[in-house]
Each structure stands twice: as structure tokens, then as C-alpha cells.
Structure 1
């Protein structure tokens, strides 16, 4: 069985912006890694935002940010 990424979810992740706090309005991929580590330690929020933050945390710790930035360029908001 081969896994296929969900194109629509990746596009949403690439363009989703932080809805609150110090980094309100920033794309999730632009959040500092230390901020995401803090969420990892304290607990990600419930729901969609928490899932997206957790995903972007994994993207950053695995050095996959260029993929998200490429999606931002290929599929502008």
C-alpha cells in the first residue's frame, strides 16, 4: 500500500495563519521552532488548529519546510 499526500490538506497547511497570540497572522510554517516545541511540551490546542500545529512541528523538526514553501509558491492564496 502506497501513501499519497492529500494535496488539499497540504495547501491548507501551507496557507494557514496563526489566529491568536504574539504570532497572530503569521503562516504556521513561519512560527519559530521554539514556539512549536513549547506547544509540544504544554499540549497542542484541541481541534483543527492543534492538528495543524502538530503537523507543522513535525515538518520543521524533520527539515521539510522547503516543501511547504514550494506549495506556497505553486498555489498562491
Structure 2
């Protein structure tokens, strides 16, 4: 899987939260990788959430969570 995200997409992903389930309210980038892998095997939700979950998984697999955590800090949600 190859990621091609724009700056705005990364900022959105950094602040995107899980809207349901066991991890409701948690930032996607902070979800356990095993949880995202489970969705990868079973099928991601349709729409924006599924797209964001796929991107979060790819970032985690490549060890780039720190990049999104820095984006959260540098671009607070209330500044969007």
C-alpha cells in the first residue's frame, strides 16, 4: 500500500477520532495496531473513516506515529 497524503490530509488524520466501539473517542493514530489489522482483514468501514483507518494503519506499520503526534501538537484541532 502506498500513501499519498497532502498536508491537510495529515492534519485531519492526526485529529481524527474513532466514532464507535471499544476505542470510541480515541485518535486513530493511537489505536492499537492489532485493532487496525483486524479491520484490514475483516474490511474497513466505507467512506472517510475507512480511508483514515487505512492510512493510520500504514503509518503505524512504518513506524511514523511520531510524525502525526507532532502534527497534533503543531496544528491544534481548534486552529483548523
Does TM, normalized by the shorter one, top 0.5? yes
- Residue in structure 2 matched with residue 74 of structure 1 by the alignment: 74
Task: List, as ranges, runs of 4+ consecutive aligned residues in structure 1 with deviation greater than 3 Å.
Answer: none
TM superposition shift of 1:5 = 4.5
Runs (5+) with no aligned partner, structure 2: none
Residues 26-45 of structure 1 aligned to structure 2 (within 5 Å): 26-45=26-45
Structure 1 unaligned segments of length 5 or more: list them.
Answer: none
TM score, norm. by length of structure 2: 0.88
Distance 1:22 1:5, change over 3 A: closer
Q: How big is the shift at 1:16?
A: 0.4
How many residues in Structure 1 have an aligned counterpart in Structure 2? 74
TM-score, scaled to structure 1: 0.92
**Alignment RMSD:** 1.1
